[in-house]
Amino acid sequence: MHEFDVTKETEELAVSKKQKFMTNLFIPVILGTTRQGRMSEPVAHFMVEQVTQWNGVETELIDIRQLHFPIDDAGQEIKDPQFSATCERADGLILVVPEYNHSFPGWLKHVLDTNLEEYIHKAVGICGVSASPFGGTRVIQSLLPVMRELGLITTFYDLNFGNVNKLFDESGKIAESEKEAYLRRFGRFMKELVWMSAVLRYGRLNLSVEEQEVKTATPNYHANKPCPEIAAKMGMETADAVLRVTCSQTGKVEAIPTN
């Protein structure tokens, strides 16, 4: 069980952090187009259906068609309270985005730009959608610098839904001949997104980017004897040598001889 330092904050806040750390991850799916006849819609429903079945994760569908923002202003001045609250609560995001003329829908950008702090240091996975075999590769590339500017951290693995007009039937169900392959790809995509969302949530709750002090983990003396070659380089006898291994907050690992 994770121990929280209550010397720098009230016990009430520490309990709140602990409760948040122990709750399910919340990873909503954003359907990023408003067009009529959009083929991204069955993709978004497929993603919600699969994420719902993932242990330890909660989700919901955010359809930007249902969000009403003015067109005579932009940015955080036109926040939608419910959308902002959902993004604030989220530990990660999944974007389902079609490729229109080598890029993403302008309305999606308009919607995403209404938040900033709500996104910072959170994971995002992108699902590209297109009628071509390439599955929205170019829309994903176009979105990457936008995600970075918003403070979101993209996963290494994306999902590409190519030939989307043939991929889903009229009822919105994925073709049986393709289902197994897409479930396998989804599993790989989701494992990374969940891992990143959990790690970043821990960081947001427990670590500060303003903190200058380097914290080290509790030393582990178990099985830390160096091999003879390493011991010789360090001028030690392997029979008596034990290494104190620590890992700093920045990820730097050090091995120091101890008596």
Claim to verify: residue 140 and residue 236 sit in the same structural domain: no
232 and 117 share one domain: no
Number of structural domains found in the chain: 2
Clarify whether residues 64 and 47 are in a common domain: yes
Give CA–CA dist 152/162, Å, rounded: 25
Instruction: Write the single-letter amino acid at 6.
Output: V
Provide the pLDDT confidence category of residue 134 given band limits of 50, 70 and 90. Answer: confident
Residues 39 and 135 in one domain: yes
Average pLDDT over residues 151-165: 96
Tell me: pLDDT of 1 over 50. no
Is the residue at 4 inside a domain?
no
The two three-digit tokens of residue 5, written as one number = 């330092």
Q: What CATH number is associated with residue 100?
A: 3.40.50.360
Distance in angstroms (rounded) separating the CA atoms of residues 51 and 26: 10
The more confidently predicted of residues 203 and 226 is 203
Which amino acid, residue 91? D
Q: What is the pTM of this model?
A: 0.76
- What pLDDT digit, counting tens, does each position of 85-105 carry? 999 999 999 999 999 988 999
pLDDT band at 4 (very low <50, low <70, confident <90, very high): very low
Neighbours of 148 (CB within 10 A): 11
Q: In terms of domains, do 222 and 202 share one?
A: no
- Which of 15-19, 75-79, 162-166 is the least confident region? 15-19
- For residues 116-145, give the mean pLDDT: 95
Out of 162, 185, 206, a domain closes at: 206
Inside any domain, residue 2: no
Residue 217 confidence class, pLDDT cut points 50, 70, 90: low
Which two tokens mark 131?
């009628």
Contact 143, 150 (CB under 8 A): no
Domain boundary among 163, 179, 206: 206
Specify whether 45 is located in the same domain as 170: yes
Could you identify the residue written with the tokens 């979105």? 143
194 and 220 part of one domain: no
199 with 226, same domain: the answer is no
Task: Say if residue 237 is in the same domain as residue 202.
Answer: no
Strand 242-247 versus strand 29-31 pairing type: unpaired
Mean pLDDT is lowest, of 119-123, 124-128, 205-209, 223-227, for 223-227
CA 156 to chain centre: 10
Residue 6 lies in a domain: no
Residue numbers of the domain that contains 15: 11-206
92's tokens: 């990660």
The percent of the chain in helix, strand and coil, each rounded to the nearest 5, is: 40, 20, 40
- In this structure, the answer to whether residues 235 and 113 fall within a common structural domain is no
Q: Are 134 and 92 members of one domain?
A: yes
